[in-house]
Amino acid sequence: MNEHQLKIAEARHHDPFEYLGMHPAGRGLVVRAFDPACERMTFVELGGARTRREMPRVDPAGFFELRLDGRADFFAYELERIDGAGHATTARDPYSFPPILTDYDMHLFNEGKHLEIYNKLGAHVIEWEGARGVLFAVWAPNAGRVSVVGDFNAWDGRRHPMRLRGASGIWELFIPGLDAGAIYKFEIRFPNGDVMDKADPYAFYFEPRPKTASIVWNLDRYDWQDGEYMKARRRLDFLHAPMTIYEVHLGSWRRKPEEEGRMLTYRELAEELAAHVKGMGFTHIELLPVAEHPLDESWGYQVVGYYAPTSRFGSPDDFKYFVDTMHRHGVGVIVDWVPGHFPRDTHALAWFDGTALYEHADPRQGEHKEWGTKVFNFGRNEVRNFLAANALFWLGQYHVDGLRVDAVASMLYLDYSRAQGEWIPNKYGGNENLDAIDFLKSLGELVHGRYPGALLMAEESTAWPGVSRPVYLGGLGFSMKWNMGWMHDILEFFSKDPIHRKYHHEYLTFALLYAFHENFVLPLSHDEVVHGKRALLAKMPGDLWQQFANLRLLYAYMYAQPGKKLVFMGGEFGQWNEWYCNTSLDWHLAEYRPHWALMRCLSRLNHLHKVEAAFHELDFEWQGFEWIDFRDTENGVIAFIRRAREGGDYVVCAFNTTPVPRYHYRIGVPECRYYREIMNTDSELYWGGNLGNAGGAHADPRPWHNQPNSIEITVPPLAGLYFKPA
């Protein structure tokens, strides 16, 4: 056994093409093949005659060799293999093909600039040199050897070793005869000699959990029907458009109780969820991460397959159908995206080629102890390329309308959730992660440049300036930012007994001090209804009637505030229990009047947000908001005006945060006109006490609250009122 044969037999060869396949030999050619499972091998020359010759076994380990004297030019051929059980297979020889990836592809990737690298790395069904098969390619620069393994070769890493493409760190192999549906992994020999099977970082599809292998998939088969929607999206002025978002965890939104609590498929979800969201009047849904993840309890935030919609609910084509259906109903789709960290699972990205490849080697940079995850190395070109291309992949391949970037604060700060001595300062001695900041800025430019109308939202909990400002103005480049401070304050206020609220009105008003520093989304998210924090309705104080009244008041106040809106599923009908990812929402509650009345109330708020320009046109500009009075803490009443663009409509909003009705209550208004009551959360339609203003109120030329006119109204207990000048 020569050196090449020994390395191949022991699965240590970094370029088996040096020995296997067709090569010049003396005055002819030699064809060599290796297959330890093969008993007999026949060489078949392709062409008119299809000449057949048996290939002699030259080594018991499984090497076969055939000399072709007098032949000088390479030609196409097949190998017929018969195993020990007598089963025969015939296919082109993988080691008879020239390289496929171009030097330019590899150069762009190593520079971090190949924005469609997912079309090159991973597994792709292609036609090459007259043969149909699958091109496999993976980045593993420190590996001693990489093989493709799967059912097609009995998971034997000796049978399909890949070739290393020079200094690029990319390994490549074209295997003819394979097609979509083939199950595979990459078997990687680490620098220390250990061998590990790894899932494909660029795989489009995965086996259902708890299995962990990747599946070859062709993404070009789906026929999209959302062309008109996508054209309209490119013209969308999202800063001034209505936006109300329904946040959804697909695995627990609704299940099939008659089928042992089975989760719905993408296609089942598409029809039912679209109807619900459309009926409630939301403009968008936001999905907790749908990229492949092994653990249900991570809610999708510990991703192993960044390019694969989770197989829990169906195939990639099924997920395309889901998005397509939403678009055909006029509903936008935002997905949570997790570029800040990834799990330690041994089959995934962590320690991918036996080194810290995607992560930092130093745990002071590369680990989140609080989450038990690894941190991406944003200073490495290939890692940035992996993530940037992934963001564009979801927007392009799956037509999603936006990405909500998770845990941005953990990316911005080197000392995030780390004690003194557990982090490394940047080159200037600061705690800013300069590489991550640069990555986020370039990401914003890429997303907005390539996909006009698409959204990039930041879940960012600190006072970092300019998160939702363009990069050319010194910002991070996001479209919008979640207002985490508002969510904390508003829930802190509404959780208090009304008798104590007069001492805490700053929780209602403080957010207006900074409301226009960013393009804010006001979220009532999943994070606030888990881990003992209680469901929204259960947070509300008082008896049953007061709890529902408080929640209706909270929604009315939220919808009148500047900023786009987000409500987590279950909040629309008043779920009592905390959200749990492995069970369905308690949809039976929606059959009871207080709960369906709450749904009707939120639906009305969504409608008003959409049709009243004052509630959305100037969400991010101070001209859209004007205080009337925020000082009446004794009565617990607060009032303000929301305005549309100059010369446009306005709405007067008043809120009573106590359970005591306020009769003959006077508030200032701009004009001496009739003010029609367009929303009253105390209406009997919403299970309220039906106290109100008989449809509206006439203004008097009596100055009040620094306004030239005023109206005298009844403000019901724990209620919100909207008035529009007729």
Catalytic residues: 406, 459
Distance set, CA 617 to CA 282, 472, 664, 721 (Å) = 17, 24, 32, 20
Q: What's phi and psi for 490, nearest 5 deg?
A: -65, -40
What whole-number distance in Å separates Cα of residue 201 and Cα of residue 376?
13
User: What's the angle, vertex CA 118, arms to CA 117 and CA 124, rounded to 5?
Assistant: 120
Say if residues 603 and 630 touch (Cβ distance below 8 Å).
no
DSSP for residue 108 = H
Task: Read off the amino acid at residue 344.
Answer: R
Pull the structure tokens for residue 459. 């879940």
Residue with tokens 């104080």: 541
The number of beta carbons lying within 10 Å of the beta carbon of residue 221 is 11
Say if residues 607 and 701 touch (Cβ distance below 8 Å).
no
Say if residues 219 and 316 touch (Cβ distance below 8 Å).
yes
Cβ neighbours for 461, distance < 8 A, ≥ 6 positions apart: 409, 484, 485
Q: What is the DSSP string of 378-409?
A: TTSHHHHHHHHHHHHHHHHHS--SEEEETTHH
Task: Read off the amino acid at residue 475.
Answer: G
Q: Cis before residue 99, ω within 30 degrees of 0?
A: no
* Residue from 342, 448, 451 nearest 386 by CA: 342
Length of the chain: 726
User: What's the angle, vertex CA 240, arms to CA 239 and CA 241, rounded to 5?
Assistant: 100
Cβ neighbours for 6, distance < 8 A, ≥ 6 positions apart: none
What whole-number distance in Å separates Cα of residue 321 and Cα of residue 328?
10
The number of beta carbons lying within 10 Å of the beta carbon of residue 248 is 23
What whole-number distance in Å separates Cα of residue 37 and Cα of residue 160?
12
CB burial string 114-148: b at 16+ within 10 A, e below: bbebbebbbbbbeeeeebebbbbbbbbbebbbbbb
What whole-number distance in Å separates Cα of residue 242 and Cα of residue 330?
13
Q: What is the DSSP string of 317-356?
A: HHHHHHHHHHHHTT-EEEEEE--SEEE--TTSSTTTTSS-
User: What's the angle, vertex CA 140, arms to CA 134 and CA 144, rounded to 5?
Assistant: 105
**Kind plus residue range of the DSSP H or E element containing 366:** helix 363-366
What whole-number distance in Å separates Cα of residue 660 and Cα of residue 671?
28
Say if residues 134 and 216 touch (Cβ distance below 8 Å).
yes
